[in-house]
Amino acid sequence: MGQFPKTRMRRARQSDWTRRLVQENKLSVDDLIWPLFLIDGDGVREPVDSMPGVERLSTDQAVRAAERAASLGIPALALFPNTDPSKRSPGGEEALNSNNLVCRTIAAIKQAVPEIGVVCDVALDPYTSHGHDGLLSEGGEILNDETLEMLTEQALVQVRAGCDVIAPSDMMDGRIGAIRTALENAGHTNTLIMSYAAKYASAFYGPFRDAIGSSGTLKGDKRTYQMDPANTDEALREVQLDLGEGADLVMIKPGMPYLDIVHRVKERFGVPTYAYQVSGEYAMLAGACDRGWLDRERVVLESLTGFKRAGCDGILSYFALEAAELLQRK
Ligand code: PBG
């Protein structure tokens, strides 16, 4: 009140150099994790219809993508297999096959591009015929403790293949502790755990389920294990529990509609905090850009900067490669 004209906020916005001087948050390639979808075969690149510009890659193509990502300085990739339907089962046993698609690809990437970090989901949904992240009882319940045994084994199988970061996305209670104990007992003391700590039962995962081939088969929804989008305090409890059980890094998911959660988590705990700009967020932005309704280069960087401003140390984004290229050109 009464500060104008002594105070003119526009002074600091008048030119590029002043804007650069007062800029508070800077998006960098070091903030990006690039999720890749995998498929069997050789030389295969298969478009994901609901995610224009995103493809399922066979192992050889994923290695090429990893090389490109590493050359741009992207620190890590997150791998998601589209398991052949013949290998899916009610119990999701293919998750424990040490020669499954994701394990073969981890090994190939770590051999060709050892300097890039590899993050792998722990959850059964790419492997179960019912599309759930856990084991389903006859009565239709997702069984918590029985699932933990599978998840622990799945984590060990992936770590033996060379995975650097285990990212449990299943939302079973106690999984971080169970996996951490198993890793320590097996001598894998350096494996990081990035917990999908606050993961909501979201409609924004639709295109992902197309990409990994579980949307057609998913029975019901995931609301008995993923969080209610209306809740915030509960997210803080989830994060606290996972940190106590041995998570190194925590993630909030989805991203853009949940940046308030990111902010609260970062303020409360001050730990490395990540968010996942999920498939539906990608589809929304990419779809509008394809129609000429949004300027793609600008919305990619603006949306990712929003994550940084909210408190993220890093972002999983299908735009990661594109963003890295844009940041390099700037
Ligand atoms: C599976 C998993 C999902 C995503 C990451 N891991 C989907 C789900 O929980 O149904 C979503 C990622 C995205 O939408 O991009 N456990």
Distances (CA, A) of 233 to 241, 256, 264, 265: 13, 18, 9, 10
Does residue 106 lie in a domain region? yes
Does residue 15 lie in a domain region? no
Does residue 11 lie in a domain region? no
For residues 190-215, give the mean pLDDT.
96
Does residue 208 lie in a domain region? yes
- Ligand 1, atom 16, lies closest to the CA of 169
Residue 268: per-residue pLDDT: 98
Catalytic residues: 199, 253
For residues 193-212, give the mean pLDDT.
97
Ligand 1 in contact with 214 (CB < 6 A)?
no
Q: If you average pLDDT over every residue of the chain, what do you get?
A: 97
Q: Over the stretch 225-236, which tens digit does the pLDDT of each residue have?
A: 999 999 999 999
Q: Over the stretch 70-111, which tens digit does the pLDDT of each residue have?
A: 999 999 999 999 999 999 999 999 999 999 999 999 999 999
From 217-221, 253-257, 323-327, the region with the lowest mean pLDDT: 217-221
Residue 144: per-residue pLDDT: 98
Q: pTM surpassing 0.95?
A: yes
Residue 77: per-residue pLDDT: 98
CA distance 45 to 87: 20
Using DSSP's 3-state secondary structure scheme, residue 118 falls into: strand
Does residue 8 lie in a domain region? no
Tell me what percent of the residues of the chain surpass a pLDDT of 70.
Answer: 100
- Residue 98 Cα to ligand 1 midpoint, Å, equals 22
Those residues with Cβ within 8 angstroms of residue 71's Cβ, 6 or more apart along the chain or in another chain: none
Atom of ligand 1 lying closest to residue 131 CA: 10
**Tally of domains in the chain:** 1
Does residue 172 lie in a domain region? yes
Does residue 14 lie in a domain region? no
Ligand 1 in contact with 281 (CB < 6 A)?
no
**CATH assignment of the domain containing 146:** 3.20.20.70
Q: What confidence tier does 219 reach under pLDDT thresholds 50, 70, 90?
A: confident
For residues 172-193, give the mean pLDDT.
98
Sole residue written with tokens 């890094």: 249
Does residue 3 lie in a domain region? no
Strands (E), 138-272: 142-143, 165-168, 192-199, 249-253
Q: What confidence tier does 1 reach under pLDDT thresholds 50, 70, 90?
A: low
Containing structural domain, residue 229 = 25-329
Residue 294: per-residue pLDDT: 98
